[in-house]
């Protein structure tokens, strides 16, 4: 393809908000699945590789629960919950700020993260977590943040952006409303 053809192809893909959301979601799913395939290839199950002693490891852990391994052992139920969440979020996205680029990024991250973990639940039987941050204790034990993956990061970032956009939108709406008892100078 010529450079002009590449740009017109890219413009066609990114022309509408839904297409931008889908493109971001596909990028997240691709990156998530690529990194998980690398974990499957280079680390045996439950194996760990220290990257920064006392702070960060690559691990190969399975999670049949939700965040922080809550509801452990409910992989099938959580797969159904993920599907329902995808449908509900897709149908209600217009209630949020999904018309701005930042809103589209947020929903793309959320959708991509949910799909990435859903793929694991269906194909592997658990979510593959591999990023583990911890602090080494003096006695030799570890205090760690629960292991996570690219999909988890995308979901958390997307949800954080939705909260931020909603807060900003509500704050802006309050500043546009006149104080109680005052008449608006805007048209009736």
Closest among 127, 113, 42 to 78, alpha carbons compared: 127
Active-site residue identified among 32, 97, 120, 129: 129
Q: How do residues 74-91 score in pLDDT, each as one tens digit? A: 999 999 999 999 999 999
Closest among 157, 165, 78, 69 to 117, alpha carbons compared: 78
Calpha distance 12→30 (Å, rounded)? 20
* Ordered DSSP codes for 127-145: EEEEEEEEEE-TTS-EEEP
pLDDT for residue 177:
67
pTM of structure: 0.83
* Cβ–Cβ < 8 Å for 68, 148: no
What SS3 class is residue 59? strand
Q: How do residues 3-44 score in pLDDT, each as one tens digit? A: 666 667 777 777 888 999 999 999 999 999 999 999 999 999
Residue 185 confidence (pLDDT) above 60: no
pLDDT for residue 11:
74
Q: What would the mean pLDDT of 60-84 be, rounded to a whole number?
A: 91
Calpha distance 110→151 (Å, rounded)? 8
Q: Kindly give, in sequence order, each residue whose CB lies less than 8 Å from that of residue 122, ignoring residues fewer than 6 positions away.
A: 79
Q: For residue 120, indicate whether it is catalytic.
A: no
Q: How do residues 89-141 score in pLDDT, each as one tens digit? A: 999 888 877 788 999 999 999 999 999 999 999 999 999 999 999 999 988 88
150-176 and 101-123 helices, crossing angle to 10°: 150
Q: What would the mean pLDDT of 38-51 be, rounded to a whole number?
A: 96
pLDDT for residue 2:
65
* Cβ–Cβ < 8 Å for 106, 165: yes
Residue 183 confidence (pLDDT) above 70: no
Q: For residue 152, indicate whether it is catalytic.
A: yes
pLDDT for residue 127:
97
Closest among 165, 147, 146 to 157, alpha carbons compared: 165
pLDDT for residue 182:
60
pLDDT for residue 98:
75
Q: What would the mean pLDDT of 145-156 be, rounded to a whole number?
A: 97
Torsion of CA 72, 151, 153, 105, to 10 degrees: -140
pLDDT for residue 170:
82
């Amino acid at each position: 393809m010529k450079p002009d053809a590449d740009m017109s192809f890219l413009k066609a893909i990114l022309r509408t908000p839904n297409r931008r959301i889908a493109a971001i979601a596909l990028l997240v799913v691709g990156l998530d699945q690529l990194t998980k395939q690398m974990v499957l290839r280079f680390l045996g199950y439950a194996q760990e590789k220290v990257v920064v002693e006392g702070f960060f490891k690559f691990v190969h852990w399975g999670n049949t629960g939700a965040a922080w391994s809550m509801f452990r052992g409910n992989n099938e139920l959580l797969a159904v919950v993920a599907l329902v969440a995808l449908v509900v979020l897709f149908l209600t996205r217009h209630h949020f700020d999904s018309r701005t680029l930042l809103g589209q990024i947020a929903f793309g991250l959320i959708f991509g993260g949910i799909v990435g973990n859903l793929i694991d639940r269906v194909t592997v039987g658990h979510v593959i977590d591999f990023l583990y941050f911890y602090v080494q204790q003096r006695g030799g034990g570890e205090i760690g943040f629960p292991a996570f993956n690219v999909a988890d990061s995308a979901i958390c970032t997307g949800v954080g952006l939705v909260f931020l956009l909603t807060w900003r939108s509500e704050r802006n709406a309050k500043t546009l409303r006149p104080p109680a008892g005052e008449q608006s100078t805007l048209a009736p």
